[in-house]
Each structure stands twice: as structure tokens, then as C-alpha cells.
Amino acid sequence: MVVFPNAKINLGLRIKYKRPDGYHEIESCFYPVALRDILEVLEVEPGHEVFRTSGIEVPSSPEENLVMKAYKIIKEKYHLPPLHIHLHKTIPMGAGLGGGSSDAAFALKLLNDMFSLGISNEQLFEYASLLGSDCAFFILNRPAIATGRGEILNPVSLDLSGYYITIIKPVAEVSTSWAYRSLTPVSQTYAPSDIIDRRVSEWKDMLVNDFEQVIFEKHPEIKALKERLYYYGADYASLTGSGSAVYGLFSKDPGVLMAEDHYFIWQRKL
């Protein structure tokens, strides 16, 4: 069985305060995009279980991979036969695009469907929330306002179809833990939920990712990529998540944007 875990972008990301449990209270709008990994699961004979990756190199061990952690959660609760699991990575890591969380959520859904386990969406949400703060988003995989750690989701009717998106990721990777440690939450006038109903062309000076203040200071080359997207005519451009990727939304086809060979660049009509 094969599924295609997709990425997401953050439309604004407000870091409100650090909670007593050590996590940060956030507000963001998560929006799915069609940049996808490939996840294949096959039933095999005993003794032939294996987990393999291809595409973009995955530096973690199989035990640390979120797909295998998702598999372990299901395996501990349901009888599963031996499996061959192959993950082909296309979504860049350390980019703020949610690729690892998506892989894990799609693994949960795939195993549920493949073996007719009858797990409800509510239970899948619970399992996904054990794996990562934004993992639960990919269970329903629809635009949503995310609060709490990112696991509390309120679906919204936002539709960006018709816009063109360009995602650029430089070589630099940004540690999520470093980004949170370095950031001092600041009071903002606007929350993402206040803004996304406005025209995209109005978002520029209102819909803010708080991580830009610390990430752009440490990585001015990432700030320059955001500025380049506006130069090419983006209606809105932003850092996504706490990673190093930036994206631009264009009301008109921007054409093929040139990027240095060491950049990852992906363009598509939404």
C-alpha cells in the first residue's frame, strides 16, 4: 500500500508564551501543500521485516524515525504481521514544512486502512499528538487554526486555490529547540485568526511569523530569500514554521524562479 504524505506551510506563527509544562503556546494557520514524500508498506514473511529510506538522506536511526514510532504505537495495540516499510523523502528536513510529522500521521492512517483496524479519527489524533505537536494536523489534512502546542485544531474554510506557491530552502537548517530558546515572545496586535479572512495582498505587514526575528538575524541569507520572493512579485512571503524554508504566494504565475544549485526550490499552482 502506498500513500503520499504532504507538507504544510504556516500562515503566520505567533508564539504567545511559555507554558508551565515547558512547551510554548502558539497560534498559527496550517495549510496543506502538495509537496509530497512517498510511503510504501508491504506485508512480508517473518524474518524479512525492514525499514528503508531513499531520496533526501535521513540522518536519524530507524528507531528515532517518526514513521517507526507510529508503527510501534499501532503494533503495541493491534496484532500486525511483519512489514517492509519504505520511505522516500522529498520534503526537506529542518525546513519547517512538517515532513516528519506528516510521514508519521500518514503511517498511522495507512496501517489503520491497510489492516481495517477501525481506529477512529479521534483516536488517531491522540496517537498523532504523542508523536509531535503538529502531527495531528495531517490526520484530517485540512486548513486549520492551530493553538496549544499546535495540536488543538479548528478547521477553517480558507481556500488558496488559484494562487501559485514557491518554496525555497537553503542549505541552512534551523533547530526548533534553538529557535524557541532564542525567541522572546512579544505582544502582537493581530493573531493569524484575525487576518486570514482578508485578501492575501493585505497580509504582508500583518500576518507575521515570530521566528523571523531570531532566524533572520542568525541567517541573513534566509531573510534575503524572502525579500527575493517579494521582488519577483509575491503577494505574500514568509518563513514557514521554525525552519529555514520560505515561501511566496503569487496571484499570477511568476515563471520559473532561478535559485543557486545548493537551494531546494519547488513551485506549483495551489
For the annotated catalytic residues, the residue numbers are 8, 134
Closest by CA position to 55, among listed 103, 11, 22, 17? 103
- On the 0-12 / 13-18 / 19+ scale of CB atoms within 10 A, 120 is exposed
- On the 0-12 / 13-18 / 19+ scale of CB atoms within 10 A, 155 is exposed
Report d(CA 234, CA 251) in Å as an integer. Answer: 8
Residue with cell 515561501: 247
HSE-CB at 184 with a 13 A cutoff on CA atoms is: 0
For β-strands 164-169 and 246-250, DSSP reports them as: antiparallel
Q: At what angle do helices 66-77 and 99-114 cross, to 10 degrees?
A: 30
CA dihedral 247, 266, 251, 197 (to 10 degrees): -50
